[in-house]
Amino acid sequence: MIKENQKPMIKGLIIVVLSLMLLITLPFISSLISEREVFQEEVTSEITSKWGQNQTLFGPFIYVEYTTVHPTEDGKVLRQKQSYIQVPNKQDFTGDIKTQVKKRSLYEVALYNTDITVKASFPSLEEIAKKLNLSEEQEFTTTKIIFAVSDSKGFTQEIFINKNPKQFFEQDRNLMATPAYNFLSYDILDKDINLEEISFPVLLKGSTELNFLATAKQTNVNIKSDYKDIKYVGNYLPETDEKQTINENSKWTIYQSIPINSNLETIHQLQDYSFGLKFLQMNDFYSKVNRATKYALLFIGLTFATFFFMENIKNLAINLLHYTLVGLALCINFVLLLSFAEYLGFTIAYAISASATILLITSFIYGLSKNRRIAMTIFGLLAALYAFLFFLLQLKEAALIVGSLGLFTILAILMYFSRRIKFSSEKE
């Protein structure tokens, strides 16, 4: 027969097991969050596919083709077609980005229009031929200026070179190196263009990100945007602080002593030199709700610990069914948080779900104990716990140290109150 003063220990162990069993609900909640995230991605993909997706300005480059001759051992001649892509000595990107937020269902996507002027300075064809060990530029079978973007349907008008209506880019079906690049090209004929001074506008639609390539010897970017929540992405940081104000210019000045040249087979490697802007949407409630669920064990464990101490110190009658109901209420809180966050944002949703859960549990305890002081104690502890979690969710780098200090403090409090409970008979 179990001794009276051993019952708290037995019940405490059962409560620990019950806490762990309630964690079975978390995979279902996480699955629900993932399902909603997938739906958000589908809506975002639908909008961007019709407007324009993330854009990377790929070029401009000079593309040349030539034939090399190799004698074989049997006296024959092997002719091999070669290609080469020459990057600019210097390139400048200047202009404006106008953004708009498109809403579909519960979700928002940042869309933009660019008005950018691209300027580039290339070496002459004679210099390129010399670099390739060709006797003269006449050995080139093809010479073109090429340019591409990630999603070519984002173009809003024809691109004229140096404002000359006779010099314009056309889609080049012969340069389908990979399906990812839909190159536009202009054939260089009879030296009808000064390669040292190339300029053309890029009026482009896109969404979420705009990237450039730092492939030239000198790359300068000076872009003005009307969007306030910007994150800089890629391999190069700008001279501008991320906490910029609206309409402040984002500037990059990148110098490379050796420019990066390529050919069609390796052109995809140039994306390693990308950099640019990302237009953030601050509706990241799915990630925050997902982070909140990781603290479920903390919520359930501390709430149960509070009930357990109150039960033994104040002689309350709380059975395992009551613990289970309270634990389920804490789990359902995360579903409430997710559902409200989609409509109201994370902060308001957190306030509503936390308030509803705290009031539900507090009224439940008051109904069991008929003691206002105990109910208000539970209310204060739960309110402090939810406030602490909200504070943690707002932190990033400091979340670990603040969370560990908070847990250490909570453990010290629990150890203090546990001294008032006797789990076994004292030795005589």
pLDDT reported for residue 122: 92
Report angle CA 264, 265, 270 to the nearest 5 degrees. Answer: 75
- Reported as type and span, the H/E element at residue 374 is helix 372-394
Cα(157)–Cα(131) distance, integer angstroms: 36
pLDDT reported for residue 220: 93
Closest CA relative to residue 350, chosen from 367, 338, 332, 362: 338
How many residues are recorded in the chain?
A: 428
Cα(331)–Cα(22) distance, integer angstroms: 8
Residue that is written with structure tokens 């997706």 in the block: 53
Using CA of residue 123, residue 126, residue 132, residue 133, what is the dihedral sign?
A: negative
pLDDT reported for residue 180: 62
pLDDT reported for residue 96: 92
Residue 179, preceding peptide bond in cis (omega within 30° of 0): no
First to last CA, the chain: 21
Cα(100)–Cα(210) distance, integer angstroms: 14
pLDDT along the chain (428 residues), means of 10: 56 70 76 79 79 86 83 70 87 92 78 92 87 76 87 86 87 68 80 85 90 91 87 85 63 82 73 86 73 78 76 70 82 86 84 90 83 83 84 70 75 70 49
| DSSP designation for 37 | H
pLDDT reported for residue 252: 92
User: Which stretches does DSSP call E strand in 298-410?
Assistant: none
pLDDT reported for residue 222: 93
pTM (predicted TM-score): 0.69
CA distances, 253 to each of 197, 221, 222, 240, 274 (Å):
19, 7, 9, 11, 13
pLDDT reported for residue 284: 67
Residue that is written with structure tokens 């603290």 in the block: 295
Closest CA relative to residue 59, chosen from 146, 133, 125: 146
